[in-house]
């Protein structure tokens, strides 16, 4: 098991290195200058300013400089924000995005499970159709449509929620709800399918035959066994949330990472683009690593396969 | 002001993203945000900023449109920072509500008879927010810091173009002692200019000319101007919350040490950061913002609203015809292209953002001109409006060239780029019978190609004036100007402008520039397209809103009246 974990860990570092390098070089292909106000500078002035940011050095040298900084944990300073360190900008905003995302996942999980269970137990009833309708709506209405609509109607017109900003927990409710729709919809559909399959299994019939109450059968046997594959879809779901976070943070004026990331690309603030990409990659790679290790723990077959090599 | 990339139909008031721009980016589905794990609750919320939802009667909530990039007056360049800094600091002069420079940190100025030396005397008793006196050395220190090549200030040219010896220091050809700034005592600063610059007093109100206290700046080091505590203030407001790059509200509180505090009416300004224009409109309608800009389609939607306002900026969007390209070296071809499209239909039906058709190069917002007239009024509309006359010119040109030139128009793909491209192609087809090709690349790629003179025809960019004088536009077409990337060369134009730059006769100076603009259009050296406008909504209770076209929004003159 230790060997397996170590091997996965080395893999993760290699993946991170490749992502970092690829992003760094791709970024250099962006047209335009990262220098502010470059449109109004003569070529000579622009070159002089570039010197201060090492932009005059050959690309391999710039790359080497960046990577040595990175190894020391230095993500550099923002071009756009008057040399503010990238780490302080990211650390400022990370908790906000994490809070919003976590809340959305929790809400989505609860709502999705509920809809899924109702759909499976009351198959083909009006409840089932209702849950299915909500699920289809949740998957097919994108956040960039839902967020402005929710803001306009629930925020401005009905005045139930704040229109925007992030000043109290109450402010976070509407954005979280918007974000959670995709999660809820996917989990609902998934839970329903899995549960229907498990409900048809022999051991469920056996449990029923033993005279267990309906609730006990659902909780102990059906739900538990339907949940295992759910672990697999949580990760892609989290990834799907990311695009949502970019939009929801902008629409609701929430000072998170997603919104900042978009701006840094427009402004070609290379250090911020790099810092955020590295952070996102670490998050993804770490999740996959965790997932692989968890699988190894849950399912001995995977672990054995890993050990054989 | 300058971060506002010079693009047609682009964001007004700051660097707000249009929803379409936004979708382009988010659609690429870039890597993910950290969403799992536990976040410290409570601490993630802003806690009401300085005002929360509804506004008190001594508080104004305005939309900053983006995080504040840089509050260091020496290096800052963008409109958001300018909108904040204008209220925190003050130069020798400040612009009044009619955009005229009035004494501010200086009580007055003495101008030498050759109008080359300006001697400013500081007002008695003016203080920084920590109680230290503001001295003439604070100005000299800041100006030299701008020019120091190591500072890499991108606005250095706004000093180095005018102050004697400044360019030499800025380009590392001489030391700081070469710069002609003298401070004989704490109250006096005299500066010698390269040539007569009747707009120099106005320049001293520009952020790059603000003072900084050496002791404080050095104490703060890299942390200088990152947040409210790492700045010293000499203007009407101090900053009590917010930081550069930070996403939370920027709170400005009336500066009790300000010399003219009796005339500052609004106690608190909350600069909210709302990037999405539709969100800003919702917040405005919900009463949470007193002022917001409008972009793209929303201009059309609100143009009859009683709260609607529009200001035409000192900003001309113009076409470039690369005269190194066969065909475009022909005067009649160029003239046909200049005349042969309907500008009114372009602004009213394609752009629909309040922009004004341009028939001259210098925009109407530049106020100096001939006598009471602005420059634009004095020269009138120079581009002929008879679109049909263009066909004869085109045919004549084609005959002179020998064959119909195969020309390609390069466009930047911003929110209106494609629509404008289709429109121009169609106009030339209809009005000239000419079949031009269209090439659309990203906005920045187009900018790079125009800079590198690797294009034939381009209509994507303009120029925002830096100071209130026609020269900020007219020197662009000198044959050796780095911004003249269409190879326009005219000896008479050069002579007129160079004479205007050095003469002490202000009448002659203006006459030369008027004459030069007529030559520029007669030679179809440039193709004026439209003058950019800013539109927005402002609550009726917000009086005295004073945006400076060559600076930032000034809340010193703001008042709240009739708000319950």
Return the closest-CA partner of residue A82 out of A103, A42, A52, A45.
A52
Which of B5, B31, B33 to probe the A interface (max A CBs under 10 A)? Answer: B33
pLDDT tens per residue across span B409-438: 999 887 788 899 999 999 999 999 999 999
- Of residues A243 and A164, which shows the higher confidence score? A164
Q: Do B47 and A102 touch (CB under 8 A)?
A: no
CA distance B92 to B508: 29
A28 touching B (Cβ < 8 Å): no
Q: Do B245 and A53 touch (CB under 8 A)?
A: no
Tell me which chain A residues have a C-beta less than 8 angstroms from the C-beta of B29.
Answer: 242-243
Distance from the Cα of B345 to chain A's closest Cα (Å) equals 29
Radius of gyration of chain B (CA): 25
In angstroms, how far is CA A49 from the centroid of its own chain? 37
Which of B245, B317, B463 to probe the A interface (max A CBs under 10 A)? Answer: B245
B77 touching A (Cβ < 8 Å): yes
Q: Do A95 and B31 touch (CB under 8 A)?
A: no
Return the closest-CA partner of residue B346 out of B421, B240, B289.
B421
Which of B21, B22, B27, B34 to probe the A interface (max A CBs under 10 A)? Answer: B34
B223 touching A (Cβ < 8 Å): no
pLDDT tens per residue across span B272-289: 999 889 999 999 999 999
With a threshold of 0.80, does the pTM exceed it? yes
B291-294 and B437-441 beta bridge pairing:
unpaired
pLDDT of residue B213: 97
A15 touching B (Cβ < 8 Å): no
- For B160, phi and psi rounded to 5 degrees? -70, -25
What's the rounded mean pLDDT across residues A237-253? 84
A243 touching B (Cβ < 8 Å): yes
* Axis crossing angle, helix B277-285 with helix A230-251, rounded to the nearest 10: 60
A201 SS3 class: coil
Q: Do A97 and B35 touch (CB under 8 A)?
A: yes
CA-based nearest residue in chain A for residue B31: A280
Return the closest-CA partner of residue A97 out of A256, A225, A254, A222.
A256
For chain A, the farthest-separated pair of C-alpha atoms sits apart, in whole angstroms, at: 87
pLDDT tens per residue across span B103-132: 999 999 999 998 999 999 999 999 999 999
pLDDT at B24 over 60: no
pLDDT of residue B542: 96
Tell me which chain A residues have a C-beta less than 8 angstroms from the C-beta of B18.
Answer: none
Q: Do A250 and B34 touch (CB under 8 A)?
A: no
B263 touching A (Cβ < 8 Å): no
Angle at B105 between CA B152 and CA B155, to 5 degrees: 20
- Average pLDDT over all residues of chain B: 88
CA-based nearest residue in chain A for residue B414: A266
By the 8 A CB rule, do B266 and B560 touch? Answer: yes
Bridge partners of B254, per DSSP, are B237
pLDDT of residue B47: 60
B457-458 and B408-412 beta bridge pairing:
parallel
A4 SS3 class: helix
- The enclosing H or E element of B472 equals helix B471-474
Return the closest-CA partner of residue B69 out of A223, A210, A267.
A267
Radius of gyration of chain A (CA): 24
B450: CB partners within 8 A, 6+ apart: B320, B410, B458, B460, B461, B485
pLDDT at B206 over 50: yes
CA distance B155 to A37: 8
Which of A35, A37, A261, A283 to probe the B interface (max B CBs under 10 A)? Answer: A37
pLDDT tens per residue across span B468-479: 999 999 999 999
Q: Do A266 and B47 touch (CB under 8 A)?
A: no
What's the rounded mean pLDDT across residues A162-174? 93
Q: Do A250 and B247 touch (CB under 8 A)?
A: no
By the 8 A CB rule, do B469 and B430 touch? Answer: no
- Of residues A152 and B354, which shows the higher confidence score? A152
Distances (CA, A) of B246 to B222, B258, B276, B463, B547: 16, 27, 17, 30, 24
A107 C-beta neighbours (distance < 10 Å), count: 18
pLDDT tens per residue across span B503-521: 888 899 999 999 999 999 9
pLDDT-based confidence at residue A123 (cuts at 50, 70, 90)? confident
By the 8 A CB rule, do B397 and B333 touch? Answer: yes
What's the rounded mean pLDDT across residues B257-284? 95
- The enclosing H or E element of B308 equals strand B308-321
Distance from the Cα of B110 to chain A's closest Cα (Å) equals 32
For chain B, the farthest-separated pair of C-alpha atoms sits apart, in whole angstroms, at: 76
pLDDT of residue A301: 60
Q: Do B150 and A52 touch (CB under 8 A)?
A: yes
Return the closest-CA partner of residue A198 out of A221, A232, A229.
A221
CA distance B32 to B19: 21
CA distance B77 to B10: 18
pLDDT of residue A82: 79
CA-based nearest residue in chain B for residue A266: B25
What's the rounded mean pLDDT across residues A75-103? 89
A116 SS3 class: helix
CA distance B146 to B170: 8
Tell me which chain A residues have a C-beta less than 8 angstroms from the C-beta of B439.
Answer: none
Tell me which chain B residues have a C-beta less than 8 angstroms from the C-beta of A31.
Answer: 441-442, 444-445, 447-448
pLDDT of residue B415: 76
A99 touching B (Cβ < 8 Å): yes
By the 8 A CB rule, do A20 and A281 touch? Answer: yes
pLDDT of residue B473: 96
CA distance A253 to B280: 9
pLDDT at A8 over 60: yes
A170 touching B (Cβ < 8 Å): no
B458 SS3 class: strand
In angstroms, how far is CA B255 from the centroid of its own chain? 27
What's the rounded mean pLDDT across residues B195-215? 95
B507 class by beta-carbon count within 10 Å (0-12 exposed, 13-18 middle, 19+ buried): exposed
pLDDT-based confidence at residue B362 (cuts at 50, 70, 90)? very high
* DSSP at B197: -
CA distance B58 to B79: 25
Copy the structure tokens of residue B42. Answer: 């409570």
Distance from the Cα of A162 to chain B's closest Cα (Å) equals 8
Out of B44, B272, B448, name the one closest to residue A99 (CB).
B44
Tell me which chain B residues have a C-beta less than 8 angstroms from the C-beta of A167.
Answer: 45-49, 52
Question: Could you tell me what percent of chain A has a pLDDT over 70?
Answer: 95
pLDDT-based confidence at residue B35 (cuts at 50, 70, 90)? very low
Q: What is the ipTM of this complex?
A: 0.84
Angle at B116 between CA B466 and CA B468, to 5 degrees: 20
pLDDT-based confidence at residue B528 (cuts at 50, 70, 90)? very high
Which of A23, A175, A250 to probe the B interface (max B CBs under 10 A)? Answer: A250
Copy the structure tokens of residue A221. Answer: 């046997």
Q: Do A167 and B46 touch (CB under 8 A)?
A: yes
Q: Do B154 and A49 touch (CB under 8 A)?
A: yes
Q: Do A163 and B17 touch (CB under 8 A)?
A: no
What's the rounded mean pLDDT across residues B540-552? 93
What's the rounded mean pLDDT across residues A8-17? 91
pLDDT of residue A300: 59
Q: Do A37 and B171 touch (CB under 8 A)?
A: no
pLDDT at B172 over 70: yes
pLDDT at A247 over 80: yes
Of the ranges A246-255, B84-93, B137-146, which one carries the lowest mean pLDDT score? A246-255
């Amino acid at each position: 098991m230790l060997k397996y974990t170590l091997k996965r860990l080395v893999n993760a570092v290699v993946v991170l290195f490749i992502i970092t390098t690829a992003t760094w070089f791709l970024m250099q292909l962006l047209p335009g200058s990262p220098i502010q106000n470059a449109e109004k500078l003569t070529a000579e002035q622009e070159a002089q300013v570039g010197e201060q940011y090492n932009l005059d050095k050959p690309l391999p040298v710039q790359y080497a400089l960046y990577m040595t900084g990175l190894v020391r944990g230095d993500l550099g300073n923002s071009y756009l924000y008057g040399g503010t360190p990238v780490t302080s900008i990211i650390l400022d905003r990370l908790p906000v995005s994490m809070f919003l995302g976590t809340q959305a996942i929790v809400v989505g999980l609860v709502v999705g499970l509920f809809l899924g269970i109702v759909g499976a137990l009351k198959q083909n009833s009006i409840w089932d159709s209702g849950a299915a309708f909500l699920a289809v709506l949740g998957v097919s209405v994108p956040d960039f449509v839902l967020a402005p609509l929710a803001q306009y109607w629930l925020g401005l017109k009905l005045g139930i929620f704040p229109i925007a900003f992030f000043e109290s927990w109450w402010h976070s409710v509407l954005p979280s709800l918007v974000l959670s729709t995709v999660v809820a919809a996917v989990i609902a559909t998934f839970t329903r399918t899995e549960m229907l399959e498990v409900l048809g299994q022999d051991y469920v019939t056996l449990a029923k035959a033993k005279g267990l109450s309906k609730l006990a059968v659902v909780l102990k046997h059906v739900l538990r066994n339907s949940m295992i594959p759910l672990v697999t879809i949580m990760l892609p779901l989290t990834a799907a949330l990311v695009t949502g976070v970019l939009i929801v943070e902008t629409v609701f004026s929430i000072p998170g990472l997603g919104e900042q990331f978009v701006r840094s690309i427009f402004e070609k603030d290379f250090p911020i683009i790099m810092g955020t990409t590295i952070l996102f990659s670490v998050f993804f790679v770490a999740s996959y690593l965790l997932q692989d290790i968890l699988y190894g723990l849950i399912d001995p077959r995977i672990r054995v396969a890993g050990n054989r090599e | 002001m300058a971060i506002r990339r010079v693009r047609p139909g682009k964001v007004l008031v700051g660097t707000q993203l249009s929803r379409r721009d936004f979708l382009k980016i988010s659609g690429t589905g870039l890597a993910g945000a950290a969403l799992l794990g536990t976040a410290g609750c409570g601490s993630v919320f802003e806690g009401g900023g300085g005002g929360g939802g509804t506004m008190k009667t001594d508080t104004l909530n305005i939309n900053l449109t983006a995080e504040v990039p840089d509050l260091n007056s020496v290096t800052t360049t963008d409109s958001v920072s300018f909108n904040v800094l204008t209220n925190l600091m003050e130069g020798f002069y400040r612009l009044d509500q009619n955009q005229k420079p009035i004494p501010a940190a200086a009580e007055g100025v003495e101008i030498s008879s050759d109008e080359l030396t300006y001697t400013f005397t500081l007002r008695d008793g003016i203080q920084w927010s920590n109680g230290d006196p503001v001295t003439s050395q604070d100005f000299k220190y800041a100006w030299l810091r701008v020019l120091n090549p190591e500072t890499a200030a991108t606005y250095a040219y706004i000093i180095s173009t005018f102050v004697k010896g400044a360019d030499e220091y800025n380009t590392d050809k001489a030391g700081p002692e070469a710069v002609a700034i003298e401070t004989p005592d704490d109250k006096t600063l005299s500066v010698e200019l390269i040539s007569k610059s009747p707009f120099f007093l106005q320049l001293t109100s520009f952020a790059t000319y603000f003072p900084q206290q050496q002791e404080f700046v050095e104490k703060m080091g890299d942390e200088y101007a990152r947040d409210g505590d790492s700045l010293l203030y000499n203007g009407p407001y101090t900053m009590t919350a917010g930081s550069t790059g930070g996403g939370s509200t920027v709170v400005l509180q009336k500066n009790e040490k300000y010399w003219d505090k009796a005339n500052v009416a609004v106690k608190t300004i909350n600069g909210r950061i709302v990037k999405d224009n539709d969100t800003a409109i919702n917040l405005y309608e919900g009463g949470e913002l007193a002022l917001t800009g409008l972009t793209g389609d929303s201009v059309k939607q609100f143009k009859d609203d009683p709260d609607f306002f529009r200001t035409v900026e000192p900003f001309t969007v113009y076409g470039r015809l690369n005269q190194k390209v066969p065909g475009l070296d022909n005067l009649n071809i160029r003239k046909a292209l200049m005349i042969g499209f309907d500008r009114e239909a372009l602004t009213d039906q394609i752009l629909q953002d309040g922009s004004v058709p341009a028939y001259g190069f210098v925009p109407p917002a530049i106020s100096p001109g001939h006598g009471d007239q602005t420059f634009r009024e004095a020269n009138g509309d120079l581009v002929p409006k008879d679109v049909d006359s263009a066909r004869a010119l085109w045919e004549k040109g084609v005959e002179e060239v020998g064959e119909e030139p195969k020309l390609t128009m390069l466009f930047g793909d911003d929110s209106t780029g494609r629509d404008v491209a289709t429109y121009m192609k169609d106009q030339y087809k209809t009005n000239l019978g000419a079949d031009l090709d269209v090439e659309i690349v990203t906005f920045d790629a187009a900018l790079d190609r125009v800079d590198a003179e690797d294009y034939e025809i381009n209509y994507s960019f303009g120029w925002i004036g830096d100071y209130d004088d026609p020269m900020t536009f007219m020197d662009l077409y000198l044959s050796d100007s780095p911004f003249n990337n269409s190879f326009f060369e005219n000896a008479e134009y050069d002579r007129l402008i160079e004479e205007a730059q050095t003469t002490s006769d202000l009448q002659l100076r203006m006459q030369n520039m008027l004459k030069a603009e007529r030559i520029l259009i007669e030679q179809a050296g440039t193709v004026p397209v439209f003058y950019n406008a800013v539109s927005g909504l402002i609550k009726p209770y917000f009086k005295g809103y004073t945006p400076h076209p060559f600076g930032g929004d000034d809340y010193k003159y703001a008042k709240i009246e009739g708000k319950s």
